[in-house]
Amino acid sequence: MKAQLLTMATPDGPFTIIARDGVVLASGWTADTGQLTGQIHPELLPETYDTVDDLGPISAAVEAFYAGDPAPAMGVPVLQKSGPFRSHAWDVLRTVGPGAPVTYTEYAELSGNAKAVRAAASACALNAAALFVPCHRVVRTDGTLGGFRWGLRVKESLLARERESLTAHARPTDSLPAERQIAQVR
């Protein structure tokens, strides 16, 4: 099975994507393909790679993220393989909104098992598709960053970029309490 390999320059450093037929198998802030292939489930691991200059909608989603629009990255198809909890937890991560990080405890609750905080943290740690499955949006209960395979500097940059994006695209009523927003709509 053959896959495509693309490394893009980003403000956070080189971002490499391994994809097959428009589906991301692995991605992260590295130019070292070996750091990504080790994260791909053996049943999904490509035999060969073609280095490409563009991955169409996948590349466009990365460019959009760095241009201030994080939404397209959540629409990029991703293929990872694991057990039921972890697979579900990865799907749940894609529903965590930009600029609104959750704690590991909240992430476990959202994933359906409030007592599975360590399993939720493990899902973050074993996520092969960084950015497209936004494990950077999970923080410690005290608000500190916690871990991130690609480094805390990158995690903080991603979170800051998402906060700035929300601020730049906020409507005047977005910062009002919900009751006042509703009153303005009436």
Catalytic residue of the set 61, 123, 124, 135? 135
Asked about 124 being catalytic, the answer comes back as: no
143 Cβ contact list (under 8 Å, min separation 6): none
Arithmetic mean of pLDDT, 99-123: 94
Whole-number percent of the chain with pLDDT over 70: 90
Judged against a pLDDT cut of 90, whether residue 136 lies above it is answered with yes
Encode pLDDT of 70-110 as tens digits: 999 999 999 999 999 999 999 999 999 998 999 999 999 99
CA 129 to chain centre: 7
Arithmetic mean of pLDDT, 141-147: 91
Q: Do domains 2-74 and 84-172 have the same CATH topology?
A: no
Calpha distance 171→173 (Å, rounded): 5
SS (H, E, C) 17-85: EEEECCEEEEEECCCCHHHHHCCCCCCCCCCEEEECCCCCHHHHHHHHHHCCCCHHHHCCCECCCCCHH
84-172 has which CATH code? 1.10.10.10
**DSSP assignment string, 114-180:** TT-HHHHHHHHHT-SBTTTS-GGGEE-TTS-----TT-HHHHHHHHHHHHHHHHHH--GGGGS-HHH
Judged against a pLDDT cut of 50, whether residue 179 lies above it is answered with no
Compute the mean pLDDT over every residue in the chain, rounded to the nearest whole number.
Answer: 90
Arithmetic mean of pLDDT, 31-48: 96
Calpha distance 7→52 (Å, rounded): 9
Q: How confident is the model at residue 167 (pLDDT cuts 50, 70, 90)?
A: confident
Residue 170's pLDDT is 59
- Spell out the domain ranges in the chain: 2-74, 84-172
Arithmetic mean of pLDDT, 169-174: 54
Judged against a pLDDT cut of 70, whether residue 169 lies above it is answered with no
Give kind and range of the element (H or E) at residue 5. strand 2-10
Judged against a pLDDT cut of 80, whether residue 177 lies above it is answered with no
Judged against a pLDDT cut of 80, whether residue 174 lies above it is answered with no
Arithmetic mean of pLDDT, 50-75: 97
Closest CA to 39 of 156, 152, 158, 150: 150
Per CATH, is 2-74 categorized as 2.30.30?
Answer: no
